[in-house]
Amino acid sequence: MPEYIMFIWDDEQAWELAEPATVEATMRAHGEFIAEHAGVIRGGNRLHTSESSTCVRADPQGSVRISDGAFAETKEVIGGYYLVEATDLDAALRIASRIPAPFGGVEIRPIRPTA
């Protein structure tokens, strides 16, 4: 059975400014979506905002460059993902720098624990 990841791209600022009622309604809608599709969902999470992102890129010399923030270039879109357990960012960066990504890089974002 093929699997798909569905990344939700949205406006973080709109989330920040949203009325509590809107946030609640959206969360409820997610709950309903999950219940309706429970048989096919393999995983899904809400992420911390992109401010908490870190990028890793291998440069042509083969060393690894780490930088703050999400990928900004519009040419690059999320093409796949791994969900990985790691104790801290250093451990996560070590794993991420092993992921083959010859045409781009890997963005590491901490998962937000469900309340």
Partner 1 sequence: MDPVVAAAVADAHRMHWGLVLAAAARLTGDLDEAEECAQDAYTAALTQWAADRLPTSPAGWLCTVARRRAMDLLRRRDVHRAKLPLLVEAPLTPGPDHVLEHGYADGPDEGGDLAGEGSPFVAVPDDRLRLIFTCCHPALDVNARVALTLRLLCGLSTADVARAFLTSEPTMAARLTRAKKKIETARIPYTVPAAEDLPARLAAVLDVVHLLFTTGHTAPAGVGLVRRDLSERALDLARMLHRLLPADAGVAGLLALILLTDARRHTRTDADGRLVLLPEQNRALWDRSEIAEGLTLARQALRVRPVSRYVLMAAIAATHASAPRWEATDWAQILALYDHLVTLWPSPIVALNRAVAVGHALGPRAGLDALEPLTRDPQLSGYHYLPATRAEFLHRLNRDDEARTAYTEALHLTDNATEQAFLRRRLAELPP
Q: Provide the binding-site residues for partner 1, judged by CB under 8 A.
A: 48, 51-54, 63-64, 66-69, 87-90, 92-94, 108, 110
Shortest distance in whole angstroms from residue 52 CB to partner 1: 4
Residue 12 in contact with residue 49, Cβ under 8 Å?
A: yes
Cβ closer to partner 1: 26 or 67?
67
Shortest distance in whole angstroms from residue 26 CB to partner 1: 21
Shortest distance in whole angstroms from residue 25 CB to partner 1: 26
Among 89, 98, 100, smallest CA distance to 108 is for 89
Q: How far apart are CA 21 and CA 85, in angstroms?
A: 33
